[in-house]
Structure 1
């Protein structure tokens, strides 16, 4: 039995393809194996009634991150960073305040990724990267611990982030932390990039907000659930860490839809019910550069389905899918930085958002990593530190430093 299990694990590691363009592929294979064991074990434990698989995965990853932090992180005694866990309008946040004085400082709101179901502002690379970002920028950084699936579903995650953002942007709170109201940004990766984009749109178009974000920095954001057959979804459908089926699962969980919808998502079977004026906003044939769409054809469905009447209302909500926002809404968004990776199902979401923002007149910096893959922005700590992730973090900090 043990021999069979070993053979299955070896087969999983060596038969699941890793693109040749990815450097340090051996390390990615090890991480892939770990994820396979964790998710597989959590699924089995769920089946015997121990708990929800997502909750179990979250508990395990947080435990491992704490152990690795204790083993590898040695804080410089001269590091005067003040880290506090407080609440902003009832939402838990972690606030990073550099020790250096000298007038008003910049402010940055950070929203972590994890498919709206995993991740934490307080653990692992998110904590260390945010600490580094705050120190390098001499900025007050607020990382939001928004509620996660399965305890929460849309729009709870979005509303947590929006409420924390409005609280942070209030003149009284900015004054309390010594933040310049003209130099506040919002950022996030993956699902956090989705939340950051949605919050930035809402704040930018809220005339009751006296202080607005000056910049938004989005790292491989998830921006739409209308088309799961874009070129990047098909090119990277079996990619490790974030496959096409797994991304669909995350969307179904976030939107509160039953798993019976999965095949409909994968085949674009509900597209006929999406309003035409919204479909054009995710039309990759018009929005993507030629190099990314050549060789691919549109996958569309024109029939009727029994789910059709139930799906569109949530899929067409721009708070869940920021790419669906109108040009008038996008035109009021702040200066933007968008990171995309070649080996990422979400690549085209980011590239289409870049095009739509530029067409709306927004100043946008688009940075694409030919050797990048989804999740690498968070892979900056031993033992799964990737050079591309460290480089991405450095350049992300540099852009914010130059533009905020």
Structure 2
């Protein structure tokens, strides 16, 4: 009996150690966030084991687990018609608010879901519920794009899918079919979806044969560059809830179909050391010592090794491709961008990606709204339904929708 009690106490202590995660005092519902993070880490560890045993690729298994859970909280509405269709061969889900009385043109948002280019779905509960709320709150047509995922497809497949679907939707006859005002369309996305939204928006503004352009772009804690994994937010949140630095580096490597052996070198910025000449033209475009306000720089120091591993850039040239890293685009491209909203969270390795993007847009003359939340964490906006119901989710979602309502 005593031995069983000792074993039980040991298991409880191990469980508490696994669940507990130091969090800033500002975060709301800290224990709920720790539980969410622990559940995600358990799922990741399980999938890594499945990968090791040859059962399946860890991301494919993880997406299956997430998808199985995600379907349990999917909502519907009698006031919104939901249609699954294809735009130029790309799967999309379209949300159309009911037309009452005289038919009139509506505003619209093209939404691109997050998940490290590898996880989640436009048809899953989290993003279905978000787009449903957007359609109802904004009385707008929402187009949610179901792009192809890693590990079955790698960059630039995801970019190409979103670009093709967007160009199809923006055709005059397609906008007319959905009763959308061509002058009131926004593009938006969160995390990796924010990356794709920014990249596609940049590409669209440079297309000469595009009839209609986006009025707005709205980027939710976007991931925008893979060259500096030692920005203040990466250093501050190196080990934090939902998305750690190591996990983000692995997402980038999976996106580019790169070798995991590069991961630790990239975490040290060895792929962008001073002797890596290919990176030189891009350095000032993500110089956070200049692009970040002092309150975000704090006392952190840049990590710029004198010597590094040029072979990483040579093996993964997409690291310098603006379609993957929109923050690296030239000033002339930033000058063409529409009015922009960027939502950032303090408890997020990607905070500074969004803040640097906002600064570069401002310097190029673009009107930008930065919506920063001190007590929120990466991914929070979709967590608004039990059992992953967070105050942070409702707070960020409502603020985001309010900005769209006022500006679209």
Same-fold call, TM cutoff 0.5? yes
Query: Is 1:10 paired with 2:11?
Result: no
Query: Is 1:276 paired with 2:280?
Result: yes
SS of the residue aligned with 1:362?
A: coil
What is the CA–CA distance in structure 1 between the aligned matches of 2:67 and 2:84, rounded to whole Å?
Answer: 17
What is the CA–CA distance in structure 1 between the aligned matches of 2:11 and 2:64, rounded to whole Å?
Answer: 24
Deviation at 1:306, TM superposition (A): 5.9
SS of the residue aligned with 2:217?
A: strand
- Residue 398 of structure 1 is matched in structure 2 by 402
Q: Per-residue displacement from partner, 1:360-393 (whole Å, max 9, x unpaired)? A: 0101111100101101011111111111210111
Deviation at 1:67, TM superposition (A): 2.3
Query: Is 1:27 paired with 2:32?
Result: yes
- Residue 371 of structure 1 is matched in structure 2 by 375
What is the CA–CA distance in structure 2 between the aligned matches of 1:345 and 1:249, rounded to whole Å?
Answer: 14
Deviation at 1:294, TM superposition (A): 2.5
The answer on whether the counterparts of 1:103 and 1:178 sit within 8 Å (CA) in structure 2 is yes
List alignment gaps of at least 5 residues for structure 1: none
- Among 34, 38, 42, the alignment partner of 1:37 is 42
- Residue 213 of structure 1 is matched in structure 2 by 214
Deviation at 1:5, TM superposition (A): 5.3
Deviation at 1:49, TM superposition (A): 2.0
Deviation at 1:312, TM superposition (A): 6.2
SS of the residue aligned with 1:341?
A: strand
Q: Per-residue displacement from partner, 1:66-95 (whole Å, max 9, x unpaired)? A: 2234xxx5x56xx23110100000000000
Deviation at 1:353, TM superposition (A): 0.4
The answer on whether the counterparts of 2:111 and 2:145 sit within 8 Å (CA) in structure 1 is yes
The answer on whether the counterparts of 1:100 and 1:138 sit within 8 Å (CA) in structure 2 is no
With over 3 angstroms needed to count, the CA separation of the structure-2 counterparts of 1:52 and 1:275, relative to structure 1, is: closer
SS of the residue aligned with 1:216?
A: strand
- Residue 197 of structure 1 is matched in structure 2 by 198
What is the CA–CA distance in structure 2 between the aligned matches of 1:387 and 1:99, rounded to whole Å?
Answer: 30
SS of the residue aligned with 1:310?
A: helix
- Residue 260 of structure 1 is matched in structure 2 by 261
Q: RMSD of the alignment, in Å? A: 1.6
- Residue 100 of structure 1 is matched in structure 2 by 99
SS of the residue aligned with 1:217?
A: strand
With over 3 angstroms needed to count, the CA separation of the structure-2 counterparts of 1:145 and 1:32, relative to structure 1, is: same
What is the CA–CA distance in structure 2 between the aligned matches of 1:149 and 1:268, rounded to whole Å?
Answer: 24
With over 3 angstroms needed to count, the CA separation of the structure-2 counterparts of 1:112 and 1:87, relative to structure 1, is: same
Deviation at 1:354, TM superposition (A): 0.5
With over 3 angstroms needed to count, the CA separation of the structure-2 counterparts of 1:293 and 1:60, relative to structure 1, is: same
TM-score normalised according to structure 2 size: 0.94
What is the CA–CA distance in structure 1 between the aligned matches of 2:136 and 2:313, rounded to whole Å?
Answer: 50
- Residue 168 of structure 2 is matched in structure 1 by 167
Deviation at 1:125, TM superposition (A): 1.6
With over 3 angstroms needed to count, the CA separation of the structure-2 counterparts of 1:55 and 1:312, relative to structure 1, is: closer
- Residue 334 of structure 2 is matched in structure 1 by 330
Deviation at 1:277, TM superposition (A): 2.7
Query: Is 1:144 paired with 2:135?
Result: no
The answer on whether the counterparts of 1:189 and 1:218 sit within 8 Å (CA) in structure 2 is yes
The answer on whether the counterparts of 1:187 and 1:193 sit within 8 Å (CA) in structure 2 is yes
What is the CA–CA distance in structure 2 between the aligned matches of 1:94 and 1:316, rounded to whole Å?
Answer: 32
What is the CA–CA distance in structure 2 between the aligned matches of 1:91 and 1:396, rounded to whole Å?
Answer: 27
What is the CA–CA distance in structure 1 between the aligned matches of 2:79 and 2:246, rounded to whole Å?
Answer: 44
What is the CA–CA distance in structure 2 between the aligned matches of 1:40 and 1:304, rounded to whole Å?
Answer: 30
Query: Is 1:61 paired with 2:69?
Result: no
Query: Structure 1 stretch 264-273 or stretch 189-198: which is displaced more?
Result: 264-273
